[in-house]
Amino acid sequence: MRDQTRTGMPANDGVWQIAPAVAHVDAAEGVYVLTLDHRRAGAPRLLSGPGATIWRAIDGLTSTSEIVAQLGASFGGVSSQIAHDVAAFVDELYGHGYLIPAASGARRS
């Protein structure tokens, strides 16, 4: 059995999209993210470095495992640590309401 994130989805398989009630701004220092959902409202969060790279790759079509492969290519090879860190970060973004699972059928074939 594969490891699962808090969402119950396999850690390396999810396809995600940005939640409708989330504003984000790409800036030189990273990506600022803010939920507009009054139940989760808070200060904007700055995603920088690999976090910003992961955010920018989330398009509703690219799977978590594909993002891991992209990061691996940028940082010298895919490792189980990269896969774990990406899955944990995506799960954290989901937990804060920034991401939702992509609509079924949205995934590239």
Q: What is the pLDDT along the chain (109 residues), one digit of tens a residue?
A: 334 444 444 444 689 999 999 999 999 999 999 999 888 778 899 999 999 999 999 999 999 999 999 988 887 777 888 999 999 999 999 999 999 999 864 545 4
Measured CA to CA in angstroms, residue 49 lies from 77, 91, 101 at distances of: 17, 18, 23
Per-residue confidence (pLDDT) for residue 1, from 0 to 100: 32
Domains of the chain: 16-101 (1.10.10.1150)
In contact, 101 and 93? CB cutoff 8 Å: no
- State both tokens at 2: 């594969």
pLDDT for position 80: 86
> Side chain identity at 13, as an amino acid letter?
D
pTM, rounded to two decimals: 0.80
What pLDDT does residue 7 have? 44
